[in-house]
Structure 1
Amino acid sequence: MIRLDPVEAAKQFIDTHFPNCQGALLSGSVVRGEATETSDLDLVIFDKKILASYRESLFDYGWPIEVFVHHLTSYRKFFEMDCKAAKPSMPRMVAEGIILKDEGMLESIKKEAADLLKKGPEKWSEEVINTKRYFISDALEDFLGRNNRAEDLFIANTLAELVHEFVLRTNQHWIGSSKWIIRALKQYDEAFTSEFVEAFDRFYLFGDKEKVVHLVDKVLEPYGDGYLKDFL
C-alpha cells in the first residue's frame, strides 16, 4: 500500500473511523519533523459519545496508527496521571498536536496542556531528594564494588535512569523514558547531556567507570558533602 502524506492519511482515517467526533489532533514525530521509516501516526480523538477512554493500534493508509480516544473530560485524568509521574506524554501530544477537526473546544484544551507543560512537575521535598540521593549512591557503590561485566551493565542502566531523574526533578524539569530520557535532558541542558552521554558511552565501550563516577559526584555534590570522591 502506498503511504499517504501523514496529514492526509490522518484526515482520511478520522473521516472513516470517527466521523462524528468533536475534535481530532495529529501529534508525535511526524508533527515534530522527526519521522523515520518506522514512525507511526499519533492521533488524539475527542468524542463525547464514548463511555470510557481507550487506546488502539491500527494500520491504515500505509501507516501504523496509535489512536488515543477520550470524551470531553476524561483527558484530564490522563493529564493528571502524567504530570504526577513527571512524564507528560498526553499533555505534550495535545499541546504540540495539529488540529485536524474541531467543533470549538480544542484551543482551550491545547492551552490547558501547554500551561501544564510550562508549569513543570511538582517540586521535590527535601525528604524525597534525600531518598533519591540514597538510591543513587547505593547503586554507585554496587557499580564500583563489582567486577562482573554482565551485572555492571544493568547497574549502569539503573544509574543512568536515576541520575537523569534526579537532575531533572531537582531542577523542576519533566523527565522521560527510553528515547525521551535524552530528549528531556537536552531540553534542560545540552552541555550536561553531552557529558552524561559521554560518561555512560565510555563505560559501555571500554568498561571505564571513572567518568560515570565523576558525573554522579557532580550531580550529588550540591546536596551533600561530595563523599563519593572517596570511592575514586
Structure 2
Amino acid sequence: MIPKLEPIIAAKTFVTTHFPHCRAALLAGSVVRGEATETSDLDIVVFDDTLVSTYRESFIESGWRIELFAHNLTSYRTFFEQDCRRAIPSLPRMVTEGIILKDTDIVEDIKREARALLDSGPEAWSDETIEMKRYFLTDTLDDLIGCTTRAEGLFIAGTLATLVCEFILRTNRQWTGSSKWTYRALERYDAGAARELVAALEAYYQTNETDALIRYVDETLSPFGGRLFAGFSRRKSNET
C-alpha cells in the first residue's frame, strides 16, 4: 500500500512531474471544500499553452486517485460555455474554488471569468421548455402512480427525484448538477425543499407509500399550471 501524501503535496508533486512547464494549476474538489471521504480523489486543473487540445485523464499516484483536467489558455472557455449551457457548471466551479498550485500571473483572470459566469446564473428556461419539462414530470409521475412492480418503482422514484430537482432549480434560474450534485444544488438553494423531498423518497423506499412524493411533485408543478398531458405537442405541422 502506497502511503498517501498530504493532498496539496501530492497535487504539487503531480504537476511538477507531469506538467513542469505549465502556466498554472489548481487543486479543486472535495479535499478543498473539506468534504473528503475515503474514496475522494484529487481534481487537478492544469493550464498549459503547449497543449493542442483539452483532455481528461485519470491516475493513481502518491496514494491518491487523481482526475486531471488539462487545458490550454483558450480551450477552457469552450468548456465554461458548454457547462453553463447545460446548467451544470463543473469547470467554472472547480476553477473558482481551486487552490493555486502554480501560477504565472494568469489564474486570477481565469478565476474572475469563472466567478462572473457563476454569479450570472444559467439562462432562463423558455415557456416551451417549461411546458416540455412539465410533460416529462407528469409522465414519470403517472408511471409511479400506476406502478405495481416494486423493482420498477425504485427506478421510477429515482428518475422522478432528479426531474423534480431540475425543475425547481431551473425555473428559479439556479445551477443544477448530476448524481449527488443534484441534491447538493437543491439543498444549497432551498434546504427545506431538499429535506422534504428526501422525506418523501424515504417514505416510498421504506413503506412503499407514494402520497408524499406525489404531493411534492404536484406542489412543484402547481405554480406552472400543474400536470400536463392532454394538449402537449411538439413539432406538429399546421400545414395541410
TM class by smaller structure: over 0.9
Query: Which whole-Å CA distance do the structure 2 matches of 1:153 and 1:138 have between them?
Result: 16
Partner of 1:158: 159
After superposing on structure 2, the runs of 4+ consecutive aligned residues of structure 1 that deviate more than 2 Å are 225-228
CA–CA separation in structure 2 for the residues paired with 1:126 and 1:156 = 26
Structure 2, unaligned stretches of length 5 or more? 230-240
1:183 aligned onto 2:184 = yes
The C-alpha deviation readout for 1:160-211, integer Å capped at 9, x for no partner, is: 1110110000000011111101110111100110001110111011110000
Partner of 1:18: 19
Give the equivalent residue in structure 1 for 2:116: 115
- Structure 1: gaps spanning 5 or more residues: none
Deviation at 1:152, TM superposition (A): 1.2
Structure 1 residue 146: deviation in Å? 2.0
Alignment pair present for 1:220 and 2:221: yes
In structure 2, what is the equivalent of residue 79 of structure 1? 80
Which position in structure 2 is the counterpart of 1:196? 197
Amino acid at match of 1:219: T
Alpha-carbon separation, structure 2, partners of 1:74 and 1:136: 36
Give percent identity, aligned residues only.
55
TM-score, structure 2 as length reference: 0.92
* Aligned-pair Cα RMSD in Å: 1.3
1:42-53 matches, within 5 Å, as: 42-53=43-54
- SS at structure 1 position matched to 2:49: coil
| Map of 1:94 onto structure 2 | 95
Q: Is the 2:21–2:48 Cα contact (8 Å) retained in structure 1? A: yes
**What letter matches 2:104 in structure 1?**
E
**Matched residue, 2:237:** none
User: Which residue does the alignment assign to 1:30?
Assistant: 31
Q: Which residue number in structure 1 is paired with residue 168 of structure 2? A: 167
Within the alignment, does 1:59 sit opposite 2:60 as a pair? Answer: yes
Conservation of the 8 A alpha-carbon contact between 2:85 and 2:123: yes
Contact 2:134 2:228 in 1 (8 A): no
Q: Find the counterpart in structure 1 of residue 209 from structure 2.
A: 208
Q: Matched residues in 2 for 1:31 and 1:75: separation?
A: 21
Partner AA of 2:96 in structure 1: A
Asked if the contact 2:28–2:98 (Cα under 8 Å) also holds between the matched residues in 1, the reply is yes
Taking the aligned partners of 2:13 and 2:90, their CA distance within structure 1 comes to: 25
Q: Distance in 2 between matches of 1:141 and 1:3?
A: 49
Are 1:106 and 2:104 counterparts? no
Q: What TM-score, normalized to structure 1?
A: 0.96
Shift of 1:227: 8.7
CA deviation vs aligned residue, 1:46-68 (integer Å, no higher than 9, x gap): 00001111111001111111110
SS in 1 for 2:21: coil
